[in-house]
Amino acid sequence: MNLYFVIWVKAFLDTIAYPINFFDFETFQNAIPRFDNQRPYAQMPFQYSLHILHEDGTLEHKEFLGDENSDPRLPLAKQMLKDITPTGSIVAYSQGFEKGKIRDLAALHENLNEDLLALNERFVDIAHPFQHKHYYHPKFNGRYSIKIVLPTLFPNDDELDYKKLGSVQNGGDAMDTFANLYLLKDESQKEHIRKDLLAYCRLDTLAMVRIWERLGEVVK
C-alpha cells in the first residue's frame, strides 16, 4: 500500500481508544404504530450487538434482543447504557445511523437523555478509511458498505460469511422478521428465528472487529 495511504489509515486508527465498543443496531418498522410514541414507518431499534475489545486483547460480546410483544426501546436503552463501557471509543460502520437512533431514544426518554447523548460524543466511524479511499480494493467497485468490504477482505472465511447464516442474512431480513414475529404462534419457530436474529447482528459487530484488525496489519 502507498505510504500516503498508510499514514492516513494510521491517523484514523490513532483516534480509537480502548476499550473499543464495536456497536450495531437493528430496527423495524410498522405502517400502523403498535406502541405509544411510535410514528408510522419510524425505524424502531429492537436489537443491538456489542463486541468489546480490551487493551489486553480480551474480546467479549454482549447483545440485546427485544420482546416482540412490547415496545423494546426503553429496555434496550437501559441495557445499552449498562453494556457499553464508560470510557473508550464506540465504533460503528456508517455511524450516522446508530447516532441518529440514539438521539431518537434520548428525545423519547428524558430521564436518560444526558447519558444517551454522551454516547454520541464517543463514536468513530470505521467506514471512514474505505469511504475516503484511504484503503481501496478494485473489488469494492467504488462502494464501501460492510457487505462489500468484508467478503473482499476475507473471501474464504466462513465465520464472516453472511450467506452461511440462517433465515436472517441482511438488515432487511432482520427488519421484516422482527416486525412480524409477534404474529407467529409457534413458539419453537419463534425461538429459532430469535437465534437467527442474534447470529446476524453478532456478525455485524464481529465483522467490524476483524476489519479493525486488518487495518492494524496495514500500518505495522
Q: What is the pLDDT of residues 67-112, one digit of tens each?
A: 999 999 999 999 999 999 999 999 999 999 999 999 999 999 999 9
pLDDT in tens, 130-140: 999 999 899 99
- What is the C-alpha separation between 155 and 11, in angstroms, rounded? 27
Of 157, 119, 146, nearest to 208 (Cα)? 146
Of residues 108 and 3, the one with the higher pLDDT is: 108
CA dist 106 → 23, 43, 144, 172 (Å):
17, 15, 29, 25
DSSP secondary structure code for residue 163 in this structure: G
Between the alpha carbon of residue 190 and those of residues 28, 34, 36, 55, 163, the distances in Å are 16, 19, 24, 38, 21
> How far apart, in whole angstroms, are the C-alpha atoms of residue 218 and residue 215?
5
> What does the block give as the cell for 137?
480494493
pLDDT at 55 over 80: yes
Q: Where are the beta strands (DSSP E) in the chain?
A: 20-28, 44-53, 59-65, 90-92, 123-125
| Distance from C-alpha of 96 to C-alpha of 111, rounded to nearest angstrom | 23
Q: What is the pLDDT of residue 37?
A: 94
User: In the predicted model, what is the mean pLDDT of residues 121-146?
Assistant: 94
- Percent of the chain at pLDDT exceeding 90: 93
User: What mean pLDDT do residues 35-39 have?
Assistant: 95
pLDDT above 80: residue 3: no
